[in-house]
Amino acid sequence: MGMKEAFDGYFDKLNEAWLQKTGFRPQVPFVERLKDTGLYLVDTLNEYDEGYAAWRPKLQTEKTDFEPIEKKLGLGFEINPQIKDYISVYWFMGLEGKRKGNVYYFPAILPVVSAEYYVENFVKHGKSHFDKNQIYIWLGHVCAGADDSFQIYVNNGDCGVFAVQVLENKSIKVADSIEELIDELEAVL
């Protein structure tokens, strides 16, 4: 399975859950500067709730070249292809999903923000919490049971996904890959 297929499966589940529960497509607050990104179904603005609009993911059509980003940022390593795919397959609003009793939150990947910004911040966040010989990339947050202090990190080497509680030095492997985690997420409204 590839990243696109994992996202496609999740987006199908998200749409189905929203339609069954509300009769509408997924909605988020409407932000004017994102109006022309293709993510919003602009004709739904204020149709459901004041200030909200339905949205849909948008397939990225231009290939992102990560080599210049890696060089410019002086990373000293190549980003795992699966992490590159996560950043460059779809544009999407923030995602939430549930898997094995945990709720995961992934921030939006937006066309008004550069891939370089995502790489720089995801890597910087990982470097601040791990030994310099370990390369972990931050992807979001996870609520493990009742504890919402966990972060989602991906091992850049093998793409194993971990829920990490930094202050208590806890780390739990939650998936063997980003694709596995996203594919197995159930939609959360």
Residue range(s) defining the domain that contains residue 19: 3-187
Q: Which residue has the tokens 């990560």?
A: 66
pLDDT tens-digit profile of 31-90? 999 999 999 998 888 766 678 999 999 999 999 999 999 999 998 899 999 999 999 999
End-to-end CA distance of the chain: 26
50: domain CATH number? 3.40.1580.20
Task: Provide the domain count of the chain.
Answer: 1
Give the rounded percent of residues in the chain with a pLDDT score beyond 90. 78
Please state, in angstroms and rounded to a whole number, the distance separating the CA atoms of residues 45 and 30: 7
> Are the beta carbons of 119 and 79 closer than 8 angstroms?
yes
pTM listed for this prediction? 0.93
